[in-house]
Amino acid sequence: MVKQQQQTTNNKLQTFKTMNIFNNYNFILVSKSPRRQQLLEGMGIKFKIKTKEINEKYPKEYKREKIPIYLCELKANAFADEIKNKKTILISADTLVFMDNKVLDKPKSYTDAFNTLSKLSGNMHEVITGVCLKSKNKMVSFYDVSKVYFKKLTKEEIEFYINTYKPYDKAGAYGAQEWIGYIGISKIEGSYFNVMGLPTHKLYEELVKFCK
């Protein structure tokens, strides 16, 4: 019992020290996504937000995780001039939805969104998020994969979701945190937060190593 209490105390002290170390850095989240901003805030990390329009094209030969990794590094490099000193760390991310190893992009129209959600209906797809950490002297990238299972959606459910939530800014034409996620997702294998756009558990681990 004494050893367990001592271990618990040591773990608390270590976490306290880690969070204090984070306070010594200036984090910049280069993302317009309100979900990523919310998740990073939930991790207790103080940060600024920087955004700009970036042409998010990737080599056609790239597959699966190579694509979000390439895109998050592209975003980080676009903001390299924001790194003023060794205590500044950029955080960028890119989330893509894959089905049968093909990217399901953000829908460009109502029909596009309807067709995408019809494909996801009753099937499993993968959500892969690439994350990049960049400072003045180093850059680290990593990714996480979550498997998402949708129930069979009715035509009326798909139409209601698109008309009400207009998911044109979301990869795969849906947000797991929205109505469609509540009524349609039957199971997730992996991180739910990764599906939202940021694998917070991996980000924390990588930041701890990055800041040492």
Name every residue whose Cβ is closer than 8 Å to that of residue 5 and which is 6 or more positions away in sequence.
Answer: none
d(CA 71, CA 47): 21
Query: Is 53 in contact with 109 (CB distance < 8 Å)?
Result: no
DSSP string, 120-184: HTTSEEEEEEEEEEE-SS-EEEEEEEEEEEE----HHHHHHHHHHH--TTSGGG--TTSHHHHHH
Cα–Cα distance measured from residue 134 to residue 196, given in angstroms and rounded to the nearest whole number: 22
Host H or E run for residue 70: helix 66-78
Structure tokens at 162: 């698109």
Is residue 94 part of the annotated active site? The answer reads yes
81, 94, 144, 169: the catalytic one is 94
The secondary structure element, H or E, covering residue 106 is none
The number of CA neighbours under 13 Å toward the Cβ of 194 is: 25
Structure tokens at 113: 């969104």
What amino acid positions are annotated as catalytic residues? 94
